[in-house]
């Protein structure tokens, strides 16, 4: 049974206060009466979120929180007291953000970007506004035409911060923002660059230039300089390698990508750059 996560548990028994559910290791937890629905029977399986109540007891609920374990969300502060800040995360008991997990002093009724984590020493869930320590440096390559999941965060002088795939820090530059973006919004985007510091440059939409990567990009640079390459898919492999430094297979794939983007025209004499390319 995992605290802070959705668990599929089996009904063991019904009592006056609710139903006791158990996992495959016979760990049990109470699902209070207010969450029970008609028709439930012993041995039925129920999907519940498990957390600790105000008396620090494990309890189950069929309600879903606004934030999932090891995820980010903008949450509203309901109260600030001696122990820390308490934010509304959609459940009966508010989520505490300890003072040590705040970048600045929280104010009631304001929204802050929060990360949900588990204190393994106490088995208690807590929120943290020190989100940078939960973000990794990106060391992978992204296909420039492949969608990635992004979460819209705060606005800066350079543009809008985003979280990519729930684990990387990214930025959409001002000039690349084509529509209104709402803080906390989840949408799709493209990674156009992985910077040396492991952060990502992201766009909501791609230009033709962004879509050109790898061998296609190299070939495009040659075409921009020469306007024409006297090669076709019938050219000999040695001739292709000498002219552009690619295998015949790679050359054909690159030409295919550029042709689909309508950046080149193919003729019997070779490959020509389409002169109205503005990207």
Measure Cα distances from 279 to 111, 150, 206, 227 in Å: 40, 25, 11, 15
The model's confidence at residue 56, banded by pLDDT at 50, 70 and 90, is: confident
Element (H, E) at 186: strand 186-194
Q: What local confidence, expressed as pLDDT, does residue 63 receive? A: 95
Statement to judge: residues 128 and 182 lie in one domain: no
Site of tokens 């990794």: 136
Question: How many domains does the chain contain in total?
Answer: 4
Mean pLDDT of 20-43: 94
In a domain, 78, yes or no: yes
- Our CA dihedral for 172, 177, 180, 186, rounded to 10 degrees, sits at -40
Which CATH number covers residue 178?
2.40.50.140
Statement to judge: residues 76 and 50 lie in one domain: no
Statement to judge: residues 165 and 196 lie in one domain: yes
For 167-190, write each residue's pLDDT tens digit.
999 999 998 888 899 999 999 998
Query: Can you read off the two tokens belonging to residue 260?
Result: 């689909």
The residues pairing with 264 across neighbouring beta strands, listed in sequence order, are: 273
In a domain, 153, yes or no: yes
For 116-155, write each residue's pLDDT tens digit.
999 988 888 999 999 999 999 999 888 777 889 999 999 9
Which CATH number covers residue 251?
1.10.10.10
What residues make up the domain containing 104? 72-132
Look at 48-52, 93-97, 266-270, 274-278 and tell me which has the smallest mean pLDDT: 274-278
Measure the CA–CA gap between 257 and 277, rounded to whole angstroms: 15
Look at 90-94, 213-217, 266-270 and tell me which has the smallest mean pLDDT: 213-217
Residue 161 CB coordination number (10 Å): 20
Measure the CA–CA gap between 97 and 86, rounded to whole angstroms: 6
Residue where one domain finishes, among candidates 182, 206, 230: 206
The residues pairing with 6 across neighbouring beta strands, listed in sequence order, are: 49
Mean pLDDT of 209-238: 83
Q: What local confidence, expressed as pLDDT, does residue 240 receive? A: 92
Statement to judge: residues 25 and 48 lie in one domain: yes
Residue where one domain finishes, among candidates 132, 162, 183: 132
Rounded to 10°, the helix 214-226/237-244 angle is 70
Coil, strand or helix: which one is 260? helix
DSSP string, 49-104: EEEE-TTS-EEEESS--SS-TT-EEEEEEEEE-SSEEEEE-SSSSPEEEEGGG-SS
Which of 123, 144, 108, 121 shows the shortest CA–CA distance to 1? 123
Mean pLDDT of 11-23: 95
């Amino acid at each position: 049974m995992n605290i802070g996560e959705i668990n599929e548990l089996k009904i063991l028994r019904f009592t006056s206060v609710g139903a006791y559910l158990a996992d495959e290791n016979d760990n049990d937890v109470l699902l209070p009466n207010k969450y029970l629905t008609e028709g439930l029977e012993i041995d039925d399986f129920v999907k519940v979120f498990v957390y600790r109540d105000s008396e620090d007891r494990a309890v189950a609920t069929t309600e879903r929180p606004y934030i999932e374990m090891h995820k980010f969300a903008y949450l509203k502060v309901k109260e600030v007291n001696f122990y820390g800040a308490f934010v509304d995360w959609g459940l009966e008991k508010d989520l505490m953000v300890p003072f040590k997990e705040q970048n600045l002093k929280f104010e009631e009724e304001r929204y802050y970007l929060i990360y949900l984590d588990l204190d393994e020493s106490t088995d208690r869930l807590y929120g943290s506004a020190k989100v940078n320590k939960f973000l990794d440096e990106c060391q992978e390559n992204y296909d420039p035409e492949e969608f990635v999941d992004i979460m819209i965060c705060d606005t800066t002088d350079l543009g809008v911060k985003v979280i990519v795939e729930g684990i990387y820090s990214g930025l959409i530059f001002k000039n690349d923002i084509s529509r209104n973006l709402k803080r906390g919004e989840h949408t799709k985007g493209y990674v156009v660059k992985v910077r040396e510091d492991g952060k990502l440059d992201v766009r909501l939409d791609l230009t033709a230039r962004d879509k050109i990567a790898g061998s296609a990009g190299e070939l495009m640079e040659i075409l921009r300089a020469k306007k024409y390459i006297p090669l076709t898919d019938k050219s000999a492999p040695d001739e292709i390698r000498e002219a552009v430094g690619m295998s015949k297979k790679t050359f054909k794939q690159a030409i295919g990508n550029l042709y689909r983007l309508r950046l080149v025209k193919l003729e019997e004499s070779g490959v020509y750059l389409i002169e109205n390319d503005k990207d």
